[in-house]
Structure 1
Amino acid sequence: MRKLIVATSVAILCSTGSVFADAVGPSDVKMVDAVIENSLTGQMGDPAAGRDIMINRKLGNCLACHMNTEISEQPFHGEVGPPLDGAASRWSEGELRAILVNAKQAVNPDSIMPSFYSLELGARVAEKFAGKTILDAQQVEDVLAYLMTLKDE
């Protein structure tokens, strides 16, 4: 019986293509006044996973542009973007979600910050990345959960 339950669960996951099949697709995200109020997945983000995504040079790579003293053990913090220290005290959850999803729409059309959950990646996108998002919906929620831990003391 246990094998049947496991096999059925695997079959369901494979047929949906994702554990988070109910995630809002990048083309369906609703941003109003530079805010995305609702979770992209309906799931809470995991701050520890979000921290890992932020420091991963092949995923978020947030430290390439932002300084964050909470992650001081990581080398080479950038100074192009605003410091992330106290981010949750400066922006609401919905504002931060909008910035992560599409900073060009939420903040400034000339921003060099990538749109992490948008299909509008800009000019000169390598063919293998065209039509894809940088992060999936749950990864955005994970990074957001981490950013929400960064409050001014």
Structure 2
Amino acid sequence: MPRHAASSAIAMLAAIVLTGPAAAETASQDVIFAEDGSVAAPLSDRPGDAAEGARIYSDKGSGNCVACHVISTRTDAEFQGTIGPALDGAGDRWTEAQLRGIVADAKRTFPDSMMPSLYKTSGYIRPGDGFSGKAGTEPLPTLLSAQQIEDVVAYLVTLKE
């Protein structure tokens, strides 16, 4: 085996050992929503990381939750929106299953919601081919991954009044 190939193989093995195997995720079309819009089963086999969920909340390049929602204690999150409900006390108002359903596809719980479906790939129209991939040839990407949904939910359940 050439030296560079051995180095690559060792680096790949080290990455697997250090980060662990990729998490198994429920595909968006396989998510089971209850009648009230809640999702009882986690979407990933890895537990949600509340610290990562807090980061996603304020990251305009990820979920962009901060564009519509405010959390009064998050003085580090600039330009918080007021279009959606304040998330202060979200962990008291909704169960983990309800939060998972709301984050994945809020319209199942709140049909008139302006919140985008963050874990959905069909059943709606995305404007333009630039947002839709190659029309009909590949599945559309979800806005957040299953693990990111679990991370945001893990963060939201910590928000108590």
Relative to the length of structure 1, the TM-score reads 0.83
RMSD: 2.3
* Matching residue of 2:110: 107
Check conservation: 1:114, 1:121, Cα contact below 8 A: no
Task: Write the deviation string for residues 90-124 of structure 1: whole angstroms up to 9, x where unpaired.
Answer: 0000000000111112221x311011111137434
* Matching residue of 1:45: 48
**Bigger radius of gyration:** 2
- Runs of 5+ consecutive residues of structure 1 not aligned to the other structure: 12-17
How far 1:87 sits from its partner (Å)?
Answer: 0.2
* Matching residue of 1:24: 26
Matched, 1:139 2:159: no
* CA 1:9–1:29: 2 relative to 1, 3 Å: farther
How far 1:139 sits from its partner (Å)?
Answer: 0.4
Check conservation: 1:100, 1:115, Cα contact below 8 A: yes
Provide runs of 4+ in structure 1 moved above 4 Å. 3-11
* Matching residue of 1:120: 122
How far 1:73 sits from its partner (Å)?
Answer: 2.1
The number of equivalent residue pairs is: 143
How many Å separate the matches in 1 of 2:146 and 2:44?
6
How many Å separate the matches in 2 of 1:82 and 1:62?
11
Relative to the length of structure 2, the TM-score reads 0.79
How many Å separate the matches in 2 of 1:124 and 1:38?
27
How many Å separate the matches in 2 of 1:137 and 1:124?
20
Task: Write the deviation string for residues 7-46 of structure 1: whole angstroms up to 9, x where unpaired.
Answer: 55768xxxxxx812x2100000000121101110122100
Q: Secondary structure at the residue paired with 2:32? A: coil
Residue identity (%) = 37
The amino acid that maps onto 1:88 is G
How far 1:71 sits from its partner (Å)?
Answer: 1.1
